[in-house]
């Protein structure tokens, strides 16, 4: 809903829900045109799952849309490469923390690329340990942190009365000094939390100004975000599970030290469900990106599905949904191909230029409305339907193509699914599965798509022209041979009113 006060303004600003205020607010950065934002990245103890990537894609869309809106964006994401689970697993496997995490950091970069997620600036926790120790030393000096007999440090939440302001929890009456030393804990637990954990036998630790040990998870994000973006910055993002305790604790640590507001805007993506249930390994509904590609699903379908539902709404991941996502992407790709590959009569049809301009305006207003991705997708599909009808009726002219492609490219700048690089990405997953000895998980569907010869768009266009030339000179043997070759490479050839068209399967 757009209210009339906003409509009367000469421009519209992005309106985003801010967890801190509990309201939708106009988003304006502190420093003119420059946005500084931070997202909590992966904890690299395993492959990322589709829930993680729902959140990362939601932030990716925000990042892309801010830039499309003309902002210069500094976007930092951390990699949590030390936490309770990592320490435990690396000790179990008898390897160093770095050795243990290297594989999953690499996998995270690959999965992000598979899903066409644009790269933020990455920072790693293990590269900032000294800065964390210094931060804790300063907190101790100011009376916000204390050391326990074993050499651990805790944050004294009784000293920070605003504790609970993000998660809207009332912690009045909490027991001063009650402590919790695990990184993740009960939602109603008002306890002094660990900033620094003393070394345990057999576990990794670092020698620092506050003694040996390792950082707690929450301090990592406070230190890295402030180091990269300053004590006060525009936006902090993550999945909704991070609101408490992680983000509440980040606020407490950072604001106690700086005396300034930490992040001004808090952006949280809602948790994803799978077939209506919470995703969990024990329910057998736990999927990594690679699991889905191994079953033969295209990266573009996965990305589409994960963007389909606005970030604050419940996204229910289903295999039916994945199939229909594939068909939506294919419709859009065909639509663009139809526009770029057909011949149109000279001239223009003003209705088409108007439609393109309206679509661009609708894309912008949908995304400005708390990133309403569903509405933006509806806008592009409305245009597709209307233009396809006009195309069938022969009402599209040469000059109409450019504004139409412009609307599509505005859409693509945000959604990133039209460029067809699925096959090479799937081939990468296929090779990974073979190298990891996971052949048994490779589906015939994946083999069919990834295993067919790889032809570039130019090569295909060239072959289609050759095929047409052969057919016109009645050399059917040759034209049939080219057609079979293209089919084997996963290319579908269609004869349409506007001529021969091709697309990838
Ligand atoms: P982690 O690797 O567990 O630190 O999580 C990385 C990001 O994924 C965090 O922002 C989490 O909030 C987010 N996340 C984890 N599970 C889900 C889920 N099921 N749906 C959406 N986001 C999630
Ligand atoms: Zn974090």
Query: 240: CA distance to ligand 2 center in Å?
Result: 12
At 283 the pLDDT is 86
> What is the DSSP annotation of 371-418?
--HHHHHHHHHHHHHHHHHHHHTT---GGGHHHHHHHHHHHHHHH---
Mean pLDDT of 219-233: 98
Number of the ligand 1 atom closest to the C-alpha atom of 237: 10
Distance CA 235, CA 268 (A): 10
At 84 the pLDDT is 87
The b/e string for 439-464 (b: 16+ C-beta within 10 A; e otherwise) is eeebeeebeebbebeebeeeebeebb
Are 154 and 194 a contacting pair, CB within 8 Å?
A: yes
At 174 the pLDDT is 65
pLDDT above 90 as % of the chain: 79
Query: 472: CA distance to ligand 1 center in Å?
Result: 57
Are 98 and 57 a contacting pair, CB within 8 Å?
A: no
The set of protein residues with a Cβ atom below 6 angstroms from ligand 1 is 40, 42-43, 51-52, 54-55, 80, 238-239, 241-242, 269, 271-272, 279
HSE-up of residue 180 (Cα within 13 Å, Cβ side): 18
pLDDT tens figures, 303-321: 999 999 999 999 999 999 9
Given a cut of 80, whether residue 334 has pLDDT beyond it is: yes
pTM of the model: 0.90
pLDDT tens figures, 421-471: 999 999 999 999 999 999 999 999 999 888 777 777 788 888 888 898 888
Query: Among all ligands shown, which has an atom nearest to the Cα of 125?
Result: 2
Among 44, 52, 104, 242, the mutation site with the greatest number of ligand 1 atoms within 8 A of its Cβ is 52
pLDDT tens figures, 227-241: 999 999 999 999 999
Query: Among all ligands shown, which has an atom nearest to the Cα of 45?
Result: 1
Given a cut of 90, whether residue 504 has pLDDT beyond it is: no
Query: 195: CA distance to ligand 1 center in Å?
Result: 22
Number of the ligand 1 atom closest to the C-alpha atom of 39: 10
pLDDT tens figures, 51-76: 999 999 999 999 999 999 999 999 99
Query: Among all ligands shown, which has an atom nearest to the Cα of 245?
Result: 2
Structure-token match 């589709």, residue found: 50
What is the CA angle 343-412-300, rounded to 5?
Answer: 100
Given a cut of 70, whether residue 337 has pLDDT beyond it is: yes
At 1 the pLDDT is 46
Distance CA 473, CA 469 (A): 6
At 8 the pLDDT is 42
At 10 the pLDDT is 42
Given a cut of 90, whether residue 301 has pLDDT beyond it is: yes
Using the Cα atoms of residue 439, residue 445, residue 451 and residue 455 in order, give the sign of their dihedral.
Answer: negative
Mean pLDDT of 367-392: 97
What pLDDT band is residue 187 in, cutting at 50, 70 and 90? low
Query: 138: CA distance to ligand 1 center in Å?
Result: 31
More confident residue, 363 or 451: 363
Indicate the DSSP class of residue 247.
Answer: I
How many helices and strands in the chain, by DSSP H and E?
17, 18
Query: 83: CA distance to ligand 1 center in Å?
Result: 15
Q: Say which range, 6-10, 17-21, 264-268, has the weakest mean pLDDT.
A: 6-10
Query: Among all ligands shown, which has an atom nearest to the Cα of 221?
Result: 2
Given a cut of 70, whether residue 188 has pLDDT beyond it is: no
At 2 the pLDDT is 47
Query: 78: CA distance to ligand 1 center in Å?
Result: 13
> Mean pLDDT, the chain, as a whole number?
93
């Amino acid at each position: 809903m757009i209210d009339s006060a906003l409509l009367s303004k000469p421009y519209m600003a992005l309106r985003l829900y801010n967890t801190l205020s509990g309201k939708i607010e106009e988003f304006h950065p502190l420093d003119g045109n420059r946005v500084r934002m931070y997202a909590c990245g992966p904890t690299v103890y395993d492959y990322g799952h589709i829930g993680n990537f729902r959140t990362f894609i939601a932030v990716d869309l925000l990042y892309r849309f801010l830039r499309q809106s003309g902002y210069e964006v500094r976007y930092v994401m951390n990699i949590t490469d030390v936490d309770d689970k990592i320490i435990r697993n690396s000790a179990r496997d008898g390897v160093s923390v770095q050795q243990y995490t290297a594989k999953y950091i690499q996998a995270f970069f690959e999965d992000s690329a598979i899903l066409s997620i644009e790269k933020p600036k990455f920072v790693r926790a293990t590269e900032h340990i000294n800065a964390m120790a210094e931060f804790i030393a300063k907190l101790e000096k100011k009376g916000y942190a204390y050391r326990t007999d074993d050499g651990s440090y805790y944050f004294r939440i009784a000293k920070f009365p605003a504790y609970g302001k993000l998660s809207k929890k009332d912690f009045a009456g909490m027991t001063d000094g009650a402590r919790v030393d695990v990184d993740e804990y009960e939602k109603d637990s008002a306890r002094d939390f660990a900033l620094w954990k003393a070394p345990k036998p057999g576990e990794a630790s670092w020698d620092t100004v506050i003694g040996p040990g390792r950082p707690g998870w929450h301090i990592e994000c406070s230190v890295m975000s402030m180091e990269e973006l300053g004590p006060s910055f525009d936006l902090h993002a993550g999945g909704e599970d991070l609101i408490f305790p992680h983000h509440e604790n980040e606020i407490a640590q950072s604001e106690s030290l700086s005396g300034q507001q930490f992040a001004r805007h808090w952006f949280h993506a809602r948790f994803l469900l799978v077939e209506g249930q919470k995703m969990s390994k024990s329910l057998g509904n736990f999927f990594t990106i690679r699991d889905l590609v191994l079953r033969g699903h295209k990266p573009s379908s996965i990305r589409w599905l994960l963007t389909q539902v606005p970030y604050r709404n419940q996204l229910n991941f289903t295999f039916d949904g994945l199939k229909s996502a594939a068909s939506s992407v294919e419709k859009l790709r065909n639509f663009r191909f139809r526009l770029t590959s057909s011949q149109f009569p000279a001239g223009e049809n003003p209705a088409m230029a108007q439609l393109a301009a309206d679509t661009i305006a609708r894309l912008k207003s949908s995304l400005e409305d708390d990133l309403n991705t569903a509405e933006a997708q509806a806008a592009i599909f409305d245009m597709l339907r209307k233009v396809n009808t006009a195309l069938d009726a022969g009402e599209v002219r040469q000059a109409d193509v450019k504004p139409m492609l412009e609307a599509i490219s505005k859409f693509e700048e945000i959604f990133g699914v039209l460029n067809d690089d699925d096959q090479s990405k799937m081939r990468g997953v296929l090779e990974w599965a073979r190298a990891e000895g996971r052949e048994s998980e490779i589906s015939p569907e994946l083999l069919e798509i990834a295993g067919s010869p790889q032809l570039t768009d130019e090569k295909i266009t060239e072959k289609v022209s050759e095929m047409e030339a052969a057919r016109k000179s009645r050399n059917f043997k040759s034209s049939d041979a080219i057609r079979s070759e293209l089919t084997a490479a996963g290319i579908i050839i269609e004869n349409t009113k506007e001529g021969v068209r091709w697309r990838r399967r």
